[in-house]
């Protein structure tokens, strides 16, 4: 059984509550991602939320917040995450069930990495799981 740890992107960029939304946007550009985890501190990496590019647009700029707006204003607090020991099938099922494309990977609440549908899709043995999760997400969008 392949675990999430084997396909995740390790050591993702992250922010803390001391950062602002401009800094999130810069990290997204620098790391070519639309998903930035929010951690308690850069020392302990305890996951407390996430910010997506959609969060920045809808909760940030569309609500006329400036770049100096606090991370907490736009972040999603109730985050679905997956343990590093979970199977790829379990991760795909979580993505499908919660209609999400990215999952933080944690151990004891600490952020280890991110697994995305893209991570699943580029691994031939797991392409079926990625496709199934994407179909489940897409079915709920239409």
Q: Digits of tens for pLDDT over the chain (142 positions)? A: 788 999 999 999 999 999 999 999 999 999 999 999 999 999 999 999 999 999 999 999 899 999 999 999 999 999 999 999 999 989 999 999 999 999 999 999 999 999 998 887 765 555 555 455 555 545 554 4
Pick the closest to residue 57 from 69, 41, 44, 43 (CA basis): 69
Q: What is the pTM of this model?
A: 0.84
Q: Tell me what pLDDT residue 142 has.
A: 44
C-beta separation of 104 from 114 below 8 A? yes
- CATH assignment of the domain containing 55: 3.10.580.10
C-alpha–C-alpha distance, residues 82 and 92, integer Å: 10
Q: Tell me what pLDDT residue 134 has.
A: 53
* Ramachandran sector of residue 21 (left: φ over 0; alpha: ψ -120 to 50; beta: rest): alpha
φ and ψ at 2, to 5 degrees? -80, 135
Give the residue numbers spanning the domain of 102: 4-141
C-beta separation of 102 from 114 below 8 A? yes
Number of domains in the chain: 1
Q: Tell me what pLDDT residue 13 has.
A: 96
Return the HEC string of the chain. CCEHHHCCEECCCCECCCCEHHHHHHHHHHHCCCEEEEECCCCCCEEEEEEEHHHHHHHHHCCCCCCCCEHHHHCECCCCCEECCCEHHHHHHHHHHHCCCEEEEEECCEEEEEEEHHHHHCCHHHHHHHHHHHHHHHHHHC
């Amino acid at each position: 059984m392949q675990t999430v740890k084997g396909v995740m992107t390790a050591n993702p960029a992250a922010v803390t509550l001391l950062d602002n939304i401009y800094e999130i946007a810069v990290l997204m550009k620098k790391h070519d991602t639309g998903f930035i985890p929010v951690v308690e501190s850069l020392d302990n990496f305890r996951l407390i939320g996430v910010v997506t590019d959609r969060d920045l647009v809808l909760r940030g700029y569309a609500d006329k917040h400036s770049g100096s707006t606090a991370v907490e204003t736009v972040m999603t607090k109730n985050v679905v995450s997956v343990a590093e020991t979970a199977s790829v099938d379990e991760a795909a099922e979580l993505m499908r069930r919660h209609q999400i494309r990215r999952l933080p990977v944690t151990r004891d609440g600490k952020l280890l990495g991110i697994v995305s549908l893209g991570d699943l899709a580029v691994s031939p043995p797991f392409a079926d799981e990625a496709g199934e999760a994407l179909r489940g997400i897409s079915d709920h969008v239409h």
